[in-house]
């Protein structure tokens, strides 16, 4: 299957001008450099990468795993054997190497994690750059439908319909992405979409140019807000608006709008017309989050799903 992904990737790089990164000279603050079976953390301003990088989208889950923090920094800087990473990370690195790339960005391995002041500041700074990280990457590898990084990129996944909703969101930021399921490999880029079962024909939903019309973008934005409100985030009080900030910034740029606190200012007052959804089993509505810094008029102030 990796040979097929490589063929799609090379065809896109060689023939799809619309899929080129926004800037070939921009790099994230940190990347993992894959070399000799090791992944080593580099600071890009100090050690300039010599080629393009890939990104990984994944779900954290609730189980603990090794992340970048002050106590693990030396290990990451010295290099960690690829074989010791969790399945999703290890599989993604395998994909990257098969494509002839040497660098990958994984949020929890390149952004400091923790509750100390330094880690919180690093997270806030890096969250503001998220849209650039994806927009300038050579390819995004999707493992977000895995429950956590232990599950890997390649085991069984969610139904195809669910995957396409997720693909739509990631396409807002990524120029190219590949997602693995138990029976199919999905490919989408700015030019086309492909399935493993139909490697040449484009899927009609993938070929729709979601970025090109205002109506598509506004529809996509409402879908994204509703789905993010229902996400089971690992750190909901910290992550809710940061998780959507990159998408919001990119959509606002494409629309010529102003994004703030989870809404587009030009969509007021319609953006205030949301309601909290009752739980299907208990009939209980979600309460407001304990994070009082979130404005009460924002959908993000609710600790649960909302509808627009």
- Give 225-241 pLDDT, tens digit per residue: 776 777 655 555 555 67
| 86 & 119 share domain | yes
| 78 & 120 share domain | yes
- Lowest model confidence (mean pLDDT) among 43-57, 85-99, 116-130, 180-194: 180-194
| 113 & 262 share domain | no
In a domain, 112, yes or no: yes
| 43 & 183 share domain | yes
Residue after which a domain boundary falls, among 195, 224, 254 = 195
Residue 284 pLDDT: 73
CA distance linking residue 48 with residue 42, whole number of Å: 9
CA distance linking residue 164 with residue 117, whole number of Å: 38
Mean pLDDT, residues 177-186:
75
Mean pLDDT, residues 156-169:
44
C-alpha dihedral, 147 to 61 to 189 to 186, nearest 10°: -10
Residue after which a domain boundary falls, among 195, 229, 259 = 195
In a domain, 269, yes or no: yes
In a domain, 110, yes or no: yes
| 237 & 299 share domain | yes
Most confident of the ranges 125-139, 159-173, 286-300: 125-139
| 182 & 277 share domain | no
| 221 & 183 share domain | no
Residue 147 pLDDT: 44
CB 137 within 8 A of CB 52: yes
Q: Which structural domain range is residue 184 located in?
A: 1-195
| 248 & 109 share domain | no
Reported as a pLDDT band with limits 50, 70 and 90, residue 30 is very high
Reported as a pLDDT band with limits 50, 70 and 90, residue 216 is low
**Residue 30 vs residue 268, higher pLDDT:** 30
Residue 185 pLDDT: 80
Max Cα-Cα span within the chain = 55
Reported as a pLDDT band with limits 50, 70 and 90, residue 37 is very high
Q: Kindly report the backbone phi and psi dihedral angles of residue 61, in degrees, each rounded to the nearest multiple of 5, phi listed first.
A: 75, -170
| 24 & 51 share domain | yes
In a domain, 209, yes or no: no
CA distance linking residue 122 with residue 180, whole number of Å: 31
| 113 & 168 share domain | yes
CA distance linking residue 134 with residue 246, whole number of Å: 9
Query: In a 3-state reduction of DSSP, which class is residue 19?
Result: helix
| 148 & 243 share domain | no
**Residue 252 vs residue 214, higher pLDDT:** 252
**pLDDT reading at 205 higher than 60:** no
In a domain, 208, yes or no: no
In a domain, 206, yes or no: no
CB 100 within 8 A of CB 54: no
Query: What one-character DSSP code corresponds to residue 187?
Result: E
**Residue 222 vs residue 165, higher pLDDT:** 222
Looking at the chain, the whole-number percentage of residues with pLDDT higher than 90 is: 31
CB 104 within 8 A of CB 31: yes
In a domain, 168, yes or no: yes
**pLDDT reading at 50 higher than 90:** yes
Reported as a pLDDT band with limits 50, 70 and 90, residue 38 is very high
Burial class (CB in 10 A: 0-12, 13-18, 19+), 66: middle
Three-state secondary structure string covering 78-119:
HCEEHHHCCHHHHHHHHHHHHCCCCEEECHHHHCCCCCCHHH
| 228 & 295 share domain | yes
CA 62 from chain centre, in angstroms, equals 18
Residue 240 pLDDT: 67
Number of structural domains in the chain: 2
Residue 260 pLDDT: 85
């Amino acid at each position: 299957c990796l040979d097929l992904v490589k063929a799609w990737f090379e065809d896109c790089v060689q023939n799809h001008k619309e899929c080129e990164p926004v800037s070939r000279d921009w790099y994230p603050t940190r990347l993992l450099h894959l070399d000799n079976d090791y992944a080593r953390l580099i600071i890009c301003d100090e050690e300039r990468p010599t080629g393009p990088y890939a990104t990984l989208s994944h779900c954290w889950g609730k189980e603990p795993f090794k992340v970048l923090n002050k106590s693990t920094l030396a290990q990451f800087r010295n290099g960690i054997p690829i074989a010791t990473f969790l399945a999703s990370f290890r599989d993604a690195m395998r994909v990257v190497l098969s494509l002839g790339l040497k660098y990958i960005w994984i949020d929890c391995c390149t952004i400091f994690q923790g509750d100390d002041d330094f880690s919180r500041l690093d997270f806030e700074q890096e969250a503001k750059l998220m849209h650039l990280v994806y927009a300038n990457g050579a390819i995004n590898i999707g493992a977000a439908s895995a429950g956590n990084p232990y599950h890997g990129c390649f085991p069984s996944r969610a139904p195809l319909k669910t995957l396409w909703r997720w693909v739509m969101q990631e396409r807002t930021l990524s120029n190219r992405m590949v997602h693995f399921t138990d029976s199919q490999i999905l490919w989408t880029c700015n030019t086309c979409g492909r399935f493993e079962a139909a490697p040449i024909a484009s899927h009609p939903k993938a070929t729709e140019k979601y970025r090109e019309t205002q109506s598509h973008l506004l529809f996509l934005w409402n879908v994204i807000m509703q789905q993010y409100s229902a996400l089971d985030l690992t750190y909901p009080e910290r992550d809710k608006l940061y998780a959507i900030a990159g998408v919001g910034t990119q959509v606002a740029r494409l629309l010529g709008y102003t994004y703030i606190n989870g809404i587009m200012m030009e969509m007021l007052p319609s953006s205030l017309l949301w309601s909290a959804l009752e739980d299907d089993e208990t009939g209980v509505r979600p309460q407001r989050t304990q994070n009082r810094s979130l404005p009460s008029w924002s959908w993000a102030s609710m600790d649960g799903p909302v509808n627009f």
